[in-house]
Amino acid sequence: MVQTLNAEPDALERPSLLEVEANRRVVDSMRSIGIILVICFHVVFGLTTIMEADAVHRYIDTLPHLFNIMWQALGSELVFLFSGFLLSYLLLRELKSYGRIDIGNYYVRRLSRIVPLYLIALVFYALVNDFSLLDLVLNLLFVSKLFGVETIIPVGWSLEVLVQAYLLLPFIVLLFVRSGHALVLAAASIALCLGARYVALLLDAPSYTVQLYDFVFGADPPDTQAQLYYLLGYRATPFLLGFMLAYLVSCKDRLLWRVFERSWITSSVILVSLTLIIISGFLPLHDQHSVLFAITGERFWLWFWTLQRFVFALGVCGFVLCLFFGQIRLLIPVVWIMSRKVWSTISRNIYSIYLFHPVMLIPAAVIGFRAYSVEEIEPIYTLEIVAIIILATVFSVLAGKILTRYVEVPAQRWIRHRLGNFHWPKQDKE
């Protein structure tokens, strides 16, 4: 099986990557940061939807530059990236151990995790949304955005992207691995996805000349921008990068140890990775008075909207490889922070948090602003935003723990007992 996966010699004699607790905590922390960034975006951006234009200007001027990443909806990119990584890792390990992938049981595992809570969320949000029978059917089939229909669940579009990716992933893993050129095919697929984004933007100039600050002030995104945001065909790069990361740590780990044992290489990769993260995630796109817009032209924005999410995810992948394999002292405090138990708690309940955190924003805002109406919340202070984010996260985690324990886990066990035949490794916690 090792030869089938093109793994390094003696790879099966060593513990797998995620059997090492520190590595598992790194993945948990990155998934947790992803969902926290989702909450941050919904807090920071969401407040602009209830403000007048003058108040929005004052609000933007108040927040520090460190908050720039909160405006750009990159949390979903981390969730997609590490979902793709974890599932690819497990599929690769199964293929390595048994020479095959039981696709039927894979689907049962995934759907048993997604469907029960999704149905509950669908019923809950349906109580406050107007929709037709067709809308409901398309939501139930996880294809509403493919037909230009709004999702009943506020974050339902991302669940649709995840489910569609989950359905395709085992076939992609099999195709890439059995070709004997897994990394080449994955890289080519990423290039095709980015090429599709570029062409779609190029054919619709308003889609790349419109700026994020236009959306902050209430403009509707052009159809092309909406498709780039909501459809898997344009959002597949984090899943493919997740596969590449999983393949590298599963099948090329000896090579990676040899590369990263050189401290200068680790330091260089950290520097490049952080640079990619900063230039893709921390530009002041929400501030129309930023010098950024005075020094850039249309061509820059064409490439920016084509590559931003890929560059961000690529930077994260490089940084994570350093955390897995790097051996320099600079990483010790980062690994210590990521080893805290809170990350595994958030990661374990990430699905329920994702579905129901929009509800928790309301009590968090009421407590954080100490107000019950929009008129009472001005001026807005940075500490109030931080308090709302923390409260929304805490409320979401508490609700998530209850739903995971009393709904998600029992439902998984019931479905898997009746539909599956499971003898899977303990690491299957995605």
Q: What is the mean pLDDT of residues 96-116?
A: 91
DSSP state of 1: -
- Residue extents of the structural domains in the chain: 11-419
Q: What tokens were used for 361?
A: 């924003």
Four-residue CA torsion sign, 415, 239, 360, 222: negative
Spatial separation of the C-alpha atoms in residues 388 and 381, rounded to whole Å? 11
Q: What is the pTM of this model?
A: 0.92
Spatial separation of the C-alpha atoms in residues 67 and 70, rounded to whole Å? 5
Q: What is the mean pLDDT of residues 276-292?
A: 93
- What's the pLDDT at 416? 85
Weakest mean pLDDT among 40-49, 54-63, 398-407: 54-63
pLDDT digits 0-9 by tens, 225-269? 999 999 999 999 999 999 999 999 999 999 999 999 999 999 999
Evaluate if residue 185 carries a pLDDT over 90: yes
Nearest alpha carbon to residue 35 among 296, 408, 409, 396: 396
Q: Find out whether 6 and 181 touch, Cβ atoms under 8 Å.
A: no
For the beta carbon of residue 390, count every other beta carbon within 10 angstroms.
14
- What's the pLDDT at 420? 62
For the beta carbon of residue 42, count every other beta carbon within 10 angstroms.
21
What separation in angstroms does the CA of 5 have from each of 91, 168, 425? Answer: 11, 19, 19
Nearest alpha carbon to residue 233 among 186, 196, 182, 185: 196
pLDDT digits 0-9 by tens, 109-142? 998 889 999 999 999 999 988 889 999 999 999 9
- What's the pLDDT at 16? 72
Nearest alpha carbon to residue 87 among 242, 236, 250: 242
Q: What is the mean pLDDT of residues 35-57?
A: 90
Nearest alpha carbon to residue 107 among 95, 122, 96, 91: 91
Four-residue CA torsion sign, 367, 370, 376, 380: negative
Q: Which residue has the higher pLDDT, 12 or 56?
A: 56
pLDDT digits 0-9 by tens, 360-395? 999 999 999 887 776 677 788 899 999 999 999 999
